Amino acid sequence: MNGRYILPFDTSTLPVIDTDFLVIGSGSAGLRAAIEANKHGSVLLMTKSALKESSTRYAQGGIAVAMNVDDTIDFHVEDTLKAGVGICNPQAVQVMVEEGIERVAELIEWGAQFDKEGDTLGFTMEGAHQRRRVVHRGDATGIETTDALVNHLRKQKHVKVVENAFAIDIITEDETCYGVLALVHDVVHWIRAKATILAAGGLGCVYQCTSNPDVATGDGFAAAWRAGCEMMDMEFVQFHPTTLILDGAPHFLISEAVRGEGGVLVNIRGEQFMGRYHENAELAPRDVVSRAILNEMQSTGFPCVYLDVTHLSPDFIQKRFPTISRTCGHYGLDITKDLIPVRSGAHFMMGGIRTNLNAETNVSGLYACGEVACTGVHGANRLASNSLLECIVFGSRAAESAVNYARRLDQKDLERVRVQSESSHSITDSFDVECGKEKIRQLMWEDVGILKSETGLKIARDVLKEMNQVRSWSSMAAFEFQNILDVANLITQAAIIRTESRGAHFREEYPDLDDVHWKKHIVLCRDEQPRLVD
């Protein structure tokens, strides 16, 4: 990375939009942060696409929360720590699980209609949980959660929403954040804020096969990296075991809840195979299931395996999984009668911008929450359906921290700031941005994916280094290319450093867990050497 900023600019000549609190991203973390910050000042929520377009909206399984009669906070904490393979932050996990109960109750109060069994909430089972603790709305929990948060947001008096706006870079002076350089209505602006909350979502589109929406190009991770944020656990990319693989169909997520309700995986020979890989079979941790599926594909020479629910009641399937049933039906697949062809896809980043329990980053005035943040709750492998829980808990916490920080600032403090950048990026208008993106995605899928080897990782590192020499800044797609490239570099660098296998990170030369040397976190920071922290 040659330049701190992508574009040359002078804040004294840019059009300025002022706000007390800037929230970047409209997933559940960003929405919850904006709702909380609204109580204390003006809020500008900017989102890359439409307000309701985010990874949250595509979440199917539900929200894990210790509210069932036979469940406890301790059980939920225990399951989360076990899934994280020894490197979760226990304090952060405790905060998420305890405060998550209140946050979910709040969602219900705001209108979320989760499924019930009689007069009480219905809970489903998912992999690596010891209790049925996942609240859901059919297989469209993300839509229900998004709608409840957006409807409540629209009741707030001090929130302005700017859609189809792109945060290019975080503006800093003396390691303090003063908002972002943003493309708004095709014009570069300085969105100037007392406090900035980054909730920009995930990075699945760095990979060729992903369950994420098209907007998940790692923009928040890359902008934070360029701004000097500490990035932690970037080697831990979770691959969801089951995404639909069908000609003409998108890489649609087939929820883990399908296996939780009795769905089984079979290979092309019709053999159930998960019992050979883990005692919990279909309900094993996601990394185990993903590697098992890949192994079955390689051993049979077939490009997918199948998820079988044909032994379940057709009425139950239609009621419990209407979205999955409808989507598969659109492509000629009747899941009550037909096997569902699936393979794994990049799904969730456990690492990200290093934060403390209050969502503070190492850059003053900048807070991070949701998937873009590394709060420490997921460790090496996220427990199913903990993601939305993390978002609403730490989205609220990020806003509380931002409010406390902003109280110390006066508008005149912001008006005195002037930042200039002479970008060192060369402009090459002939460069095919979309071709560049696809090259990175294929490289990451093949060499920095579910299984990693030293040879493959070094090939990826060298190819990415060469791509750093080619740049084009004529469109938002070009900014996305740079972000995908920066994030791919971070993932690859961290994956080379960690010479063991832990959770979602599997090195073929180092297949074993090594707690003696590697029960640690890798922290990457711009212009600094990588370091290990406990």
In the chain, the amino acid numbered 379 is G
Class of domain 425-527: mainly alpha
Residue 217: closest CA among 438, 1, 394, 30: 438
Cβ of 512: how many Cβ atoms within 10 Å? 9
The CATH number of domain 242-344, selected from 3.40.50.300, 3.20.20.370, 2.40.37.10, 3.90.700.10 = 3.90.700.10
Nearest 5°: the CA angle 467, 211, 66 is 125
Residue 286 is a catalytic residue: yes
DSSP string, 222-259: HHHHHTT--EE-TT-EEEEEEEE--TTS---B--HHHH
Residue 306 burial (C-beta neighbours within 10 Å; 0-12, 13-18, 19+):
middle
505 secondary structure, DSSP code: B
Phi-psi region of 400 (alpha: psi -120 to 50; beta: other; left: phi over 0): alpha
Give the pLDDT of residue 1. Answer: 38
> Are 395 and 153 in contact, with CB atoms under 8 Å apart?
no
| pLDDT tens, residue order, the chain (534 aa) | 346 898 889 999 999 999 999 999 999 999 999 999 999 999 999 999 999 999 999 888 899 999 999 999 999 999 999 999 999 999 999 999 999 999 999 999 999 999 999 999 999 988 889 999 999 999 899 999 999 999 999 999 999 999 999 999 999 999 999 999 999 999 999 999 999 999 999 999 999 999 999 999 999 999 999 999 999 999 999 999 999 998 888 888 999 889 989 999 999 999 999 999 999 999 888 889 999 999 999 999 999 999 999 999 999 999 999 999 999 999 999 999 999 999 999 999 999 999 999 999 999 999 999 999 999 999 999 998 999 999 999 999 999 999 999 999 999 989 999 999 876 555 455 678 899 999 999 999 999 999 999 999 999 999 999 887 656 566 888 899 999 999 999 999 999 999 999 999 999 999 999 999 999 999 999 999 999 999
Q: Does domain 16-236+350-415 have CATH number 3.50.50.60?
A: yes
The bridge status of strand 43-46 relative to strand 16-24 is parallel
Q: Cα–Cα distance between 470 and 432 in angstroms, integer?
A: 10
Give the pLDDT of residue 230. Answer: 98
> Are 441 and 207 in contact, with CB atoms under 8 Å apart?
yes
DSSP string, 255-301: -HHHHHTT-EEE-TTS-B-GGGT-TTGGGS-HHHHHHHHHHHHHHHT
All CATH 3.90.700.10 domain ranges in the chain, comma separated: 242-344
Return the H-helix or E-strand segment holding 9.
strand 9-10
Q: Cα–Cα distance between 314 and 320 in angstroms, integer?
A: 10
The 3-state secondary structure of 173-207, one letter per residue? ECCEEEEEEEEECCEEEEEEEEEEEECCCCCHHHC
Give the pLDDT of residue 467. Answer: 86
Give the pLDDT of residue 2. Answer: 45
Return the H-helix or E-strand segment holding 153.
helix 141-153
Question: Which listed residue (57, 133, 259, 286) is catalytic?
Answer: 286
Give the pLDDT of residue 502. Answer: 97
All CATH 3.50.50.60 domain ranges in the chain, comma separated: 16-236+350-415
Give the pLDDT of residue 155. Answer: 96
Residue 121: closest CA among 131, 140, 108, 130: 108
Question: Crossing angle for the helix pair 141-153 and 28-37, nearest 10 degrees?
Answer: 20
Residue 401: closest CA among 350, 372, 363: 363
Q: Which residue has the tokens 């089984």?
A: 264
Residue 35: closest CA among 99, 106, 105: 106
Q: Cα–Cα distance between 321 and 61 in angstroms, integer?
A: 10
The bridge status of strand 521-524 relative to strand 373-374 is unpaired
> Are 241 and 273 in contact, with CB atoms under 8 Å apart?
no
All CATH 1.20.58.100 domain ranges in the chain, comma separated: 425-527
